[in-house]
């Protein structure tokens, strides 16, 4: 079920797209560096996502829904970890590079197996909460979902293709901010809708 209303904040996101291409010309390239201001802002957005899912998990009275919100928390935690390069961004070397996995000893050896286990746990939680049943009971803001997909595409183009106006890390990082904002918007909308529905 979709909410087809076009909310006012979406106009700001439309303006934001050309804004990215303009402002990136004035920002220093190191603004998009690891542990830089843009990436730190992204981490704040993801931390808010973890908090929203935790709040929803605490407040819902439907036991199956608790698994979904636990999965939501874990999803945001995984994306948070990815933004930190799974902790390597916290161990930056003096030349500004991150250590390679093989340089981290046992931490480097166990990192990928642990990530794999967390992804398996994420899938289990979605299965345990009957994710497709959950989707049938919620209302999703259609235009926010469309904009979320749009920003995912823009992030992918900026990251993997050096073409026309899409180039450089700043594009990618700024579009990721909008992508995470839309993830929060969809998460919060579903949280409010489900909690109103259950009470």
Contact 70, 54 (CB under 8 A): no
Mean pLDDT along residues 65-79: 96
pLDDT at position 92 is 66
Give the whole-angstrom CA distance, residue 183 versus residue 197.
21
pLDDT at position 75 is 97
Flag whether pLDDT at 80 surpasses 70.
Answer: yes
| Sequence-distant (≥ 6) Cβ neighbours of residue 43 within 8 angstroms | 80, 83, 84
Give the whole-angstrom CA distance, residue 184 versus residue 52.
8
Contact 80, 39 (CB under 8 A): no
Per the model's pLDDT, the better-predicted residue between 141 and 164 turns out to be 141
3-class SS of residue 40: helix
Per the model's pLDDT, the better-predicted residue between 40 and 36 turns out to be 40
Q: Indicate the helix (H) or strand (E) that contains 72.
A: helix 63-83
Enter the tokens of residue 86.
């799974």
Flag whether pLDDT at 86 surpasses 80.
Answer: no
In degrees, rounded to 5, the angle at the alpha carbon of residue 34 between the alpha carbons of residues 188 and 173 is 50
Mean pLDDT along residues 147-171: 81
- Min mean pLDDT across 75-89, 95-109, 113-127 is at 95-109
Q: Report the greatest alpha carbon distance in the chain.
A: 55
Give the whole-angstrom CA distance, residue 4 versus residue 10.
12
| Nearest one of 150, 167, 166, 136 to 68, comparing CA atoms | 136
% of the chain exceeding 90 in pLDDT:
53
Flag whether pLDDT at 180 surpasses 90.
Answer: yes
pLDDT at position 18 is 92
Contact 57, 66 (CB under 8 A): yes
Give the whole-angstrom CA distance, residue 34 versus residue 83.
9
Contact 46, 52 (CB under 8 A): no
Burial label, 1 (beta-carbon count in 10 A; 0-12, 13-18, 19+): exposed
Give the whole-angstrom CA distance, residue 62 versus residue 198.
8
- Min mean pLDDT across 62-71, 79-88, 94-103, 109-118 is at 94-103
Contact 187, 48 (CB under 8 A): no
Indicate the pTM of the whole model.
0.89
């Amino acid at each position: 079920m979709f909410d087809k209303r076009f909310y006012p904040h979406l106009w700001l996101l439309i303006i934001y797209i050309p804004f990215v291409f303009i402002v990136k010309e004035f920002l220093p390239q190191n603004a998009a560096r690891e542990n830089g201001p843009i990436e730190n802002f992204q981490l704040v957005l993801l931390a808010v996502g973890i908090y929203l899912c935790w709040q929803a998990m605490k407040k819902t009275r439907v036991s199956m829904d608790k698994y979904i919100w636990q999965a939501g928390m874990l999803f945001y935690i995984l994306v948070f970890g990815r933004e930190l390069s799974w902790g390597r961004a916290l161990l930056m070397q003096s030349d500004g590079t991150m250590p390679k996995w093989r340089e981290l000893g046992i931490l480097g050896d166990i990192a990928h197996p642990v990530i794999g286990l967390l992804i398996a746990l994420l899938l289990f939680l979605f299965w345990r909460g009957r994710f497709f049943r959950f989707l049938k009971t919620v209302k999703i803001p259609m235009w926010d979902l469309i904009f979320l997909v749009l920003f995912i595409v823009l992030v992918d183009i900026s990251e993997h293709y050096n073409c026309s106006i899409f180039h450089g890390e700043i594009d990618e990082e700024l579009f990721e901010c909008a992508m995470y904002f839309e993830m929060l918007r969809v998460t919060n909308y579903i949280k409010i809708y489900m909690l109103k529905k259950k009470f």
